[in-house]
Amino acid sequence: MGKRNRNRQRNQQDRNGKSDGRTRDNAGWGAGYSEIIKENKLFEHYYQEQKIVPDGEFEQFMEAMREPLPATIRITGYKSHAKEILHCLKEKYFKEIQDLEIDGQKIEAPQALSWYPDELAWHTNMSRKILRKSPLLEKFHQFLVSETESGNISRQEAVSMIPPLLLKIEPHHKILDMCAAPGSKTAQLIEMLHSDMDVPFPEGFVIANDVDNKRCYLLVHQAKRLNSPCIMVVNHDASSIPRLQVDFDGKKDILFYDRILCDVPCSGDGTMRKNIDVWKKWTTSNSLQLHGLQLRIAVRGVEQLAVGGRMVYSTCSLNPIEDEAVIASLLEKSEGALELADASEDLPGLKWMPGMTSWKLMTRSGEWFTNWSEVPQGLHTQIRPTMFPPTDPEKLKDMKLERCMRILPHHQNTGGFFVAVLVKKAPMPWNRRYPKLRHKEAETASANDASPAGQPRPTPSPGGEPVEEGEAVLEDKPQDQELGDPAPEAPGAKTGVCGPPPSKKMKLFGFKEDPFVFLTEDDPVFPPIQAFYDLSPTFPKLNVLTRTHEGKKRHLYMVSKELRNVLLNNSERMKVINTGVKVWSRNNDGEQFGCAFRLAQEGIYTVSPYINARIINISVEDVKVLLTQENPYLSKLGDDAHAQAKKLAMGSIVLKYKPDPQNADAPQCPIELCGWRGKTSIRAFVPRNERFHYLRMVGVEVFREKQGRRDDPSAEAKAGANADPDAAPTEDSGKAASEGDEEGGVSLEADALDGEGGEDDGPAAARSADDADKAPGS
């Protein structure tokens, strides 16, 4: 009934042409938000009392909170194309938009963020509304959208870029991102792992987790733009994320992470500049409700951190209950195992306020409490002792809470943010103790087993060998047992030892994922691939996986050796949403050309170092021809590339451009494209946005008119089929054959096979690779 009534009401509004004055036609962009008044007296009173803002600056602080957040972009730093994109931005797009005036607002020239390394992050006073709607900025907006889709630019809030930088990541680090969605920080972590593009498989990896199954797929979308074999997306509650095992020298070992990003769920009052509805929703009870969860997640993080490792705790909240209170409680629980690192010199140019050492609590009804002893019994379920600052002055001084960093919006025109860097000096204290005994009989029983001279027994390691107190392995309990973990019944349980409850079977929610099946070295799929592409003997066959146990293998993916180790040893412990980068796709007609698998553009930079055949070295002019013409004849290539192509049989190929240091006008970054060598023509298999990216790199202007954008899918298909071979691609030409991939959510490249350049290009001429993949049994 409710649904029918809503439909009737909507139809009535449509007939009247209005809905309380709020129809789409007269509301304009941002309908709904215009009614929100950017004022919250409780918010102002609370933060004035907490004194988070320096004296005399509170009005500036509130004025900044009411202003729209400036647009900020980040150029991905791990690709060698970063410098080329930066050059393109500075020399072309930034020059075109500076000194423009739109709707009475002067557009300032974008400025590099002073604290972000290598000028790879920029901000401007353009709001998202102006950027999207102004015709004068259409080219710049299209550039941003296209480069974002191809993974070369991320539109990310400035303060959100800080935590990954403070982690100080190196390519060998094992990294856990505990609350990763939507994934902008995860993308930064992946970039840092791949700082050296000459190493296709860094030793480290990123495990990105989120509790929300649907948000995990948003995370996959962000991560897959970077085409890394070193990322795995999992779906767990961060406060009880399972402890993982790996094989180490033939033995099972516990996986400890070198770096952990703990960006916890928060009240989000630092995001008021972009999330305007926070103005009317904000109350003091938000932080009181979230504090416990934030502390549990942080505790679980430090449990899984390796001794000597770094964990960054961050929130987009300014509230000390969610910030310093969590850090202080964590430090107190650690008994010296953790310490706050001094990050003041890590980001020169960043303005921040030191962490607070004194704060108080306010209930929703307006009552203030300065310490736990003042809290009445009736509020003990809402307010906990961990929410207050430590009462011991010496203990408070030793914590060095002033090393926490709070970023205020009015200091550098950003959002509000809090970040703290923790370093683990020793195993956590609760991992070094035996469970307490319930009965005196148990005490007697354990006393009989005590070591001579009353010495306490050394704590056993997971392998059963006694180890001395203080060794890193002391933190490990059998399998993944930790504080708050479900664990199997201990052998001594019958004697009265108090232990955790028996383990429960993990409940899985959301979509059921296809399995991850690793191939063996003698799998029959390898010999034709090895012969066709002349794979190097060092090619890691064991790192190749597929997503099906039965039938023909449709796609082949690759992961790093370390992620393979994690996957094989923890398939029952964790719910994996996505991992691996696609390197080959089945083309049923390809068997007649010597190999049933063609290369995939997504994984070309991963697999290319191992390929010794099927390579054509191309020039800048060849890149232009291949990316602006649908199916150019071989004769359209330069003499050198033409000669190389004539020597190759039909089938999948690698097209390589190597930079010429003598030619400063040409791109100074390598370019590798997947292609298909037909009988008389040649074709590049590159997704639309990546195609535009490479064209910009070689100096071809790419601009799409607004009309006819994605409105008619059939017209789009016709446009691709009848494209003028000599025209630069429009939005509709070179279109990816599919927006998604059934096997793990990895997007497909432009899958149309070669054939339109000549009528005699073989049976694949009129069929797309996507169609070929749909063959029964494939």
Map tokens 């593009």 to a residue: 197
- Assign residue 58 a region (left: φ > 0; alpha: ψ between -120 and 50; beta: otherwise): alpha
Q: Taking the CA of residue 541 as centre, how many other CA atoms within 13 Å lie in the half-sphere pointing to its CB?
A: 14
Output the CA angle 280-283-286, nearest 5 degrees. Answer: 120
Taking phi over 0 as left and psi of -120 to 50 as alpha, with beta for the rest, 434 belongs to: beta
Residue where the block lists tokens 């180890």:
467
Q: How far apart are CA 735 and CA 749, in angstroms?
A: 9
Amino acid at 601: Q
The amino acid sitting at 65 is M
Do residues 616 and 655 touch, judged by C-beta distance below 8 A? yes
| Residue 775: both structure tokens together | 């063959």
Count CB neighbours of 432 within 10 A: 16
- Report how far residue 419's alpha carbon sits from residue 631's, in angstroms, rounded to the nearest whole number: 52
Put residue 120 in one of left, alpha, beta given phi > 0 → left and psi -120 to 50 → alpha.
Answer: alpha
End-to-end, the C-alpha distance of the chain in Å comes to 46
Starting at the edge strand found earlier in the chain, the sheet holding 544-546 runs: 517-518, 544-546, 555-558, 581-586, 597-599
Residue partners of 247: CB distance under 8 A and separation at least 6: 253, 565, 568, 569
Which runs of consecutive H residues, i.e. helices, occur in 210-349? Answer: 213-224, 278-281, 285-303, 324-334
Taking alpha carbons only, the member of 624, 739, 639, 734 closest to residue 671 is: 624
Amino acid (1-letter code) at residue 11: N
**Which of 316, 404, 595, 674 does the annotation list as catalytic?**
316
- Residue whose C-alpha is closest to residue 34's, from 21, 45, 18, 43: 21
Question: At 645, which helix (H) or strand (E)?
Answer: helix 639-646
Give me the DSSP letters along 161-220: GHHHHHH---TT-EEEETT-TT-HHHHHHHHHHTSSTT-SS-S-EEEEE-S-HHHHHHHH
* CA–centroid distance for 649 within its chain: 40
- Would you call 179 a catalytic residue per the annotation? no
3-state helix, strand, coil in the chain (%, to 5): 35, 15, 45
Catalytic residues: 316
